[in-house]
C-alpha cells in the first residue's frame, strides 16, 4: 500500500511499483480524480482499474502488470473510492480480488457488512482463490497489531472474522509473522 499517492509524485511511484515486478498491485488512498487518468495511463502501461475518491481523500486502484495473462470476467466498483472487486482468470486459475479502503471507525461495521454483501452478489467459481487486500483501518489482534490510538469495536472485528470464516480466508501476514508487532500507521504524539 502506498498511502497518499500524490499526483506530483506519482511518476516515481509508478516507476517504483514497476521495479517490484509484481503482477498485481493494490493501492489505497490514491486521492484520484478522472482528470489525472490521462497522465497515469501514460505512466502505467499495464491495466489500471480504479475507483476515484476526491483529490484530497479516498480512492483505490488496482494495477495489473502488462506481462500478466488474465481474463477479466466481472468488475464491481463502488462510487466512493472505497472498493474494487475483480473476478478474473489468471493463468487458467479463477481468482476473486478485492481491494478496499475502509471507512472511519464509527462506520466500519456497516462497511464490512456491505463488503460481505458485494462478495455474495457474485456467483463465482467455487474453486476461486479469494484475495482481499487494502487498508482495513482496523486491527484483529489488539496486542500485536496496535500501538495506542482507538481500539476498534468488537462488531467491526466480528464482521471481518465472519467474512474470513465464510470464505475460509486467513491473514497471510500473521501466519508468516505469528508474534511480530508491526504497524503501517502510528498515532503521532502532539507536543504543546
CATH of the domain at 31: 3.60.10.10
55 pLDDT more than 50:
yes
Write down the pTM of the prediction: 0.85
The answer to the question of residue 87 being in a domain is yes
Residue 71 lies in a domain: yes
Number of domains in the chain: 1
- Would you say residue 151 has pLDDT above 70? no
* Model confidence band, residue 42 (pLDDT cutoffs 50, 70, 90): confident
Q: What pLDDT score was predicted for residue 152?
A: 54
Give the model's confidence band at 6: pLDDT under 50 very low, under 70 low, under 90 confident, else very high: very low
Residue 163: which domain range? 7-176
Query: Could you tell me whether strands 70-77 and 60-64 are parallel, antiparallel, or unpaired per DSSP bridges?
Result: unpaired
Helix (H, G, I), strand (E, B) or coil at 148: coil
Q: What is the pLDDT of residue 148?
A: 61
Using CA of residue 56, residue 57, residue 59, residue 65, what is the dihedral sign?
Answer: positive
Cell of 126: 467455487
Amino acid at each position: 500500500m502506498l498511502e497518499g499517492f500524490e499526483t506530483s509524485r506519482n511518476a516515481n511511484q509508478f516507476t517504483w511499483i514497476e521495479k517490484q515486478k509484481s503482477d498485481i498491485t493494490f493501492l489505497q488512498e490514491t486521492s484520484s480524480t478522472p482528470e489525472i487518468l490521462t497522465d497515469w495511463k501514460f505512466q502505467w502501461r499495464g491495466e489500471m482499474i480504479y475507483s476515484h475518491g476526491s483529490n484530497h481523500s479516498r480512492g483505490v486502484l488496482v494495477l495489473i502488470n502488462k506481462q500478466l495473462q488474465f481474463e477479466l470476467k466481472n468488475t464491481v466498483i463502488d462510487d466512493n473510492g472505497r472498493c474494487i472487486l475483480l473476478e478474473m482468470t489468471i493463468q487458467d486459475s479463477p481468482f476473486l480480488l478485492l481491494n478496499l479502503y475502509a471507512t472511519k471507525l464509527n462506520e466500519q461495521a456497516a462497511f464490512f457488512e456491505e463488503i460481505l454483501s458485494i462478495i455474495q452478489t457474485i456467483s463465482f467459481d467455487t474453486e476461486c482463490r479469494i484475495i482481499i487486500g487494502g487498508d482495513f483501518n482496523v486491527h484483529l489482534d489488539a496486542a500485536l497489531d496496535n500501538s495506542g490510538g482507538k481500539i476498534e469495536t468488537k462488531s467491526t472485528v466480528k464482521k471481518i472474522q465472519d467474512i474470513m470464516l465464510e470464505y475460509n480466508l486467513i491473514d497471510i501476514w500473521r501466519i508468516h509473522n505469528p508474534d511480530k508487532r508491526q504497524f503501517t500507521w502510528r498515532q503521532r504524539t502532539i507536543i504543546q
